[in-house]
Amino acid sequence: MRFKFPTGKYYWIFLVLYIVLILALVQAEKGNANANIKSISDGLWYSVVTLTTVGYGDFYPITPIGRALGLIVIFSSLGVLGFLIGNFTNIIQNRMEKKKKGFFGTDFSNHFVIIGWDDFAKNVADQIINAHSKIAIITDNNDDLEHIKELYSDDQVFVLFADYKNMETLTKVNISDSNSVFINFPDDTKSLIYVINIKKHYDVNVVVALQTSELKETFHSVGVTHIISKNDITSKMVASYIFEPDVALFTEDLMETSVNEDDFDISEYKIIEANPYIDMDYMNVFIDLKKKYDSILLGITKIDNNKRVLIKNPSNGVKIEYNDYIILISNSDSQKKIEKDFGIKEGVIN
């Protein structure tokens, strides 16, 4: 019959019996004048040396009872060693698994949160990463977790494996310090319920991609910042390709984040105190941007009572002011120069 080491809670009983065995060994040895194991510290040292298989030989039992108990200690040490190594290994593995699933959270700030993962979310994430921004992704699918880990580096993307119903887990993606939250569920009703719940717990900008446009007003009424209907966008692009294919190609190209130096895209920059165009007339800024950066100014967004007001092709007399956002077309090379001179990266900054 093969001996089987105790497992689970029985390990602790086994460990207590092992300590009692050592105490019994000391008791059996200390009455002999020639014994070298005479105290509890001697017995513990003997057990440790035996446990680690070092075997210095400085302490050993000499009495018949002591040797019998010592033999049991030797074999029992294998179980104790297995217990210690097994538990230490489990602790390391559990910690690594928790870290992999994002249970320790992230310190990302001014980042973007994507809740719900699929091919559409991947395309959105790729565009955000190309703009050199960070993302926190929440998924309840372990296969998606593995896939996301393979696609992106940890310094770009943080992934959390969590139950969507648990609003408290959103603190792990540092949602309160995020730029905006993109909710991407395949069912509009599920998205609506999630928006209502998330708005109860967090004051965040929410973007939702709907399957249809029928619930747009409902989503606006519960506090969604931006609502995109996948069908509306698709139908508009298809119609544009049919009616004005060159316009469609140009629009699609501008919607993508520029990667190569000759790629153009539309971007927006917040006007901070370091911006050289503060208090300048819109038309003068338009001309200077074209000359200096080969970029085209398209419009300006002003913040009015915490609401964003987009002004397309402003009239004469409109000035660029602190906390405004200017929208322009530029290539990758120009964007680098603009970001350096403006003292800020593209995108909305909270």
pLDDT tens across 175-185, in order?
999 999 999 99
**pLDDT for the residue numbered 55:** 66
Specify whether the CB–CB gap between 210 and 230 falls below 8 A: yes
Maximum Cα–Cα distance across the chain: 108
- Give, rounded to a whole angstrom, the gap between the first and last alpha carbons of the chain: 69
- Give me the amino acid identity at 336: K
The encoded tokens of residue 247 equal 């316009």
Give 175 or 228, the one with higher predicted confidence: 175
Least confident of 44-58, 173-187, 332-346: 44-58
**Residue 138 backbone class (left: φ over 0; alpha: ψ -120 to 50; beta: rest):** beta
Least confident of 170-174, 201-205, 235-239: 235-239
SS3 state at 112 = strand
pTM attached to this predicted model: 0.70
CA 42 to chain centre: 51
Give tens-digit pLDDT for 276-311: 999 999 999 999 999 999 999 999 999 888 788 999
Specify whether the CB–CB gap between 111 and 135 falls below 8 A: yes
Give 265 or 147, the one with higher predicted confidence: 147
**pLDDT for the residue numbered 196:** 94
Query: Residue 322's CB: how many other CB atoms inside 10 A?
Result: 11
Percentage of the chain beyond pLDDT 90 is 45
**pLDDT for the residue numbered 243:** 76
**pLDDT for the residue numbered 3:** 44
**Residue 267 backbone class (left: φ over 0; alpha: ψ -120 to 50; beta: rest):** beta
Task: Enter the DSSP assignment of 132.
Answer: T
Give 105 or 250, the one with higher predicted confidence: 105
Task: Enter the DSSP assignment of 264.
Answer: E
Evaluate if residue 69 carries a pLDDT over 90.
Answer: no
Q: How far apart are CA 180 and CA 350, in angstroms?
A: 9
**pLDDT for the residue numbered 101:** 94
Mean pLDDT over each residue of the chain, to the nearest integer: 85
**pLDDT for the residue numbered 11:** 65
* Helical H segments across the chain, by residue range: 10-29, 40-51, 64-100, 119-130, 142-151, 188-201, 216-221, 230-243, 245-255, 282-293, 332-342
| CA gyration radius, the chain | 33
Q: How far apart are CA 299 and CA 307, in angstroms?
A: 16
**pLDDT for the residue numbered 260:** 62
**pLDDT for the residue numbered 229:** 85
**pLDDT for the residue numbered 2:** 46
Q: How far apart are CA 149 and CA 271, in angstroms?
A: 35
Q: How far apart are CA 289 and CA 282, in angstroms?
A: 10
Domains of the chain from N-terminus onward: 10-100 (1.10.287.70), 112-234 (3.40.50.720), 260-342 (3.30.70.1450)
Helix axes 245-255 and 230-243, enclosed angle (nearest 10): 140
**pLDDT for the residue numbered 183:** 94
Confidence at 149, pLDDT banded by 50, 70, 90: very high
